[in-house]
Amino acid sequence: MSFKKDFIWGAAAASYQIEGAWNEDGKGMSIWDHFTEKNGAVYQGHTGKIACDHYHRYKEDVAIMKELGLQSYRFSISWPRILPSGTGKISEKGLDFYSRLVDELLAADIIPFPTLFHWDYPYELYCRGGWLNPAASDWFAEYTSAVVDKIGDRVDRWFTLNEPQVFIEMGHMTGEHAPGVKLQLRDRVRMIHNVLLSHGKAVQVLREKGKENTKIGMAPVCGVVIPADDSEKSIKAAREHMFSSYTEESFNAWSNSWWLDPVFFGKYPEESLKHLGKYLPEGWVDDMATIARPLDFLGNNHYHGSYVTANEEGKAVHKSPVTGEPVTGFNWRITPEGIYWGSKFLFERYKKPIIITENGLSNKDWVSLDGKVHDPQRIDFTHRYLKEYKKAAEEGVELLGYFHWSIMDNFEWAAGYRERFGMVHVDYATQKRTIKDSGYWYRDVIKSHGENL
């Protein structure tokens, strides 16, 4: 068995990273609009004000997707473009943009796969406490309702949140991302609970208002632990470490079990709860049934993992990086086995089909003298990862799809436009798009349904 017949091949992007039009048609300010105004926050002072100008060029971009044979496009919706103040008055022009995008995708036989939240939080809600506010989940439900009322008649597949671990940890602990604050553990634990409750209420809205056959998932970035050898001892240690519990001293928001156990099991990990339960909001137990609203699949944004072996007691011991090992432009380790083990371990634990919602690499790409963009590293990287993903499918892991990150070069958050992840090169001065060699390679993979890997 290889990839199933209904397996979906796609690519992804996010609203703030490509749309531009940051203050057009009544759009409100997001925390990323605000963050990029801070001196030194983003590489060379770059912003997403124009980005790839996708807001005006979406038809051209969808035509490129069709040329590449994409079967689905995972995009995100800008909350402040829909609700400029985060709640209250709806911007019909903002909703109309996503309605037109959905129609354009459907006309090109590309399945629209929206993500409700990919980090561009409304600034006005941040000023009211953001995810710390007890009303945060109701705000998110109101926003979800506005979106599904507009496009839910034509969209039947959704993700709620993208990489909540990142926007909590890097946005609210290290301050590297918007909103650029450094909160204490007490605040972050409460914030995580409110984010999970927001997810649950969004699922509830989508079930109530969406199409009868609506399918819903979440797109976290799960820390993947890879056994460094094939011994049962190392495999067991890797599996346990990937879902290990944390004490107050060791806890960070990257914990797979702290995020996913509530969603799929309706409870926080017991061992961690002993240390962190005191920080949860009053009445949190009553929220768990909402947080655990049934999902149809689990997404995972996967780029790299860490290798472990087992010590004499069977506990995981991290294996140090090899000197001179290959890395991406972002200096991330290249660990293809992670997409196999991550998918396998997640499927074993949560019993839900897996979708790789992001996978790719940053590379130093440019237009060559022949007018083309040659990116053999991206082809080799994607080939290696997809071979391992295919191996998981062959061993019976239920896989529903793969979304390459990203369809085009874009604003890479605090790294600005320094990093290029796209299969389509963007000249930011002219907005000219050039399909890279990797785009044509991926087109052939899609045509063969992965059989040429």
Residue 449 annotated as part of some ligand binding site: no
Residue 332 annotated as part of some ligand binding site: no
Q: What is the DSSP string of 32-53?
A: HHHHTTSTTSSGGG--SSSTT-
Identify residue 189 by its one-letter amino acid code. Answer: V
- Within 10 Å of residue 449's Cβ, how many Cβ atoms? 14
Alpha helices in 1-78 (DSSP H): 15-18, 31-35, 54-67
Distance of CA 298 to the CA centre of its chain: 11
Q: How far is CA 136 from CA 143, 207, 264, 430, in A?
A: 11, 20, 21, 40
Pick from 203, 72, 193: nearest CA to 132: 193
**Exposed (0-12), middle (13-18) or buried (19+): which is 144, by Cβ within 10 Å?**
buried
Residue 67 annotated as part of some ligand binding site: no
Q: How far is CA 269 from CA 265, 344, 345, 434, in A?
A: 9, 20, 17, 47
- The length of the chain, given as a count of residues: 453
Pick from 357, 397, 363, 399: nearest CA to 380: 363
Residue 405 annotated as part of some ligand binding site: yes
Which residues, 6+ apart, have CB-to-CB distance to 430 below 8 Å?
Answer: none
**Exposed (0-12), middle (13-18) or buried (19+): which is 171, by Cβ within 10 Å?**
buried
Q: How far is CA 33 from CA 11, 20, 50, 53, 433, in A?
A: 25, 10, 11, 15, 24
CA distance 339 to 434: 28
- Residues belonging to the active site: 163, 358
- Within 10 Å of residue 186's Cβ, how many Cβ atoms? 13
Residue 412 annotated as part of some ligand binding site: yes
Residue 451 annotated as part of some ligand binding site: no
Residue 452 annotated as part of some ligand binding site: no
Annotated binding-site residues read 17, 118, 162, 303, 405, 412-413
Annotated binding-site residues for substrate read 17, 118, 162, 303, 405, 412-413
